[in-house]
Amino acid sequence: MNYILIGFKGTGKTTIAKIVSKKLKALFFDMDRIIEEEFSYNLNEKKSIKEIYQILQEREFRELESRSIKKLKNINNSIIASSGGFVLKNENILVLKKNCKFIYLNTSKKEIEKRIDIENAFLKTKENFEKEFLKRKSIYENIADMQIDINDENTPKDIANKVIDKIYGK
């Protein structure tokens, strides 16, 4: 079985997935790195996820994201850090639901605002952030098999332990 950490940008998906995978001796995959590798392979030039998004814009970026996600459909015994927006295409959810349990890292809007630079992120404005946050939160809640509520007092290690407890049904 695979477990994929889902949630908005800035929830700590990558950090927590690394800790969980190490503790469970599972493979670790980071969707953003897979997208970067896919893009860089075709271009023969390394770009960050943010640069790729700026180059491709929304529609083409989401297509690249979908192609990258298909590379995860045959893996096993893995912890995956998702890209924040993969849930915007239903086909991505369906591909991953076949062999993954979704763990939603539920973080407050206020906490995420503290963690990310809205104007520098793909969101551009606070209004876009608010709209996107509400839209995605609803999707995350609907597709999650498990949910971890996070506050600013939780350390990554605390959250990783909560994830492991959920995986083992505690």
Report the C-alpha gap between 75 and 22 in whole angstroms.
Answer: 17
Domains of the chain: 2-168 (3.40.50.300)
Q: Which residue has the tokens 């793909």?
A: 122
Edge to edge, what strands does the sheet with 27-30 contain? Answer: 27-30, 78-81, 2-6, 100-107, 146-150
Cα gap 163→148, rounded to integer Å: 7
User: Tens digits of per-residue pLDDT, 11-29?
Assistant: 999 999 999 999 999 999 9
Mean pLDDT of the chain: 91
pLDDT digit string, tens, across residues 40-96 = 877 778 999 989 988 898 899 999 999 999 999 899 999 999 998 999 999 999 999
Helix (H) or strand (E) holding 27: strand 27-30
Higher pLDDT pick, 43 / 160: 160
User: What residues pair up with 28 in beta bridges, in sequence order?
Assistant: 79
| pLDDT at residue 35 is higher than 90 | yes
pTM above 0.95, yes or no: no
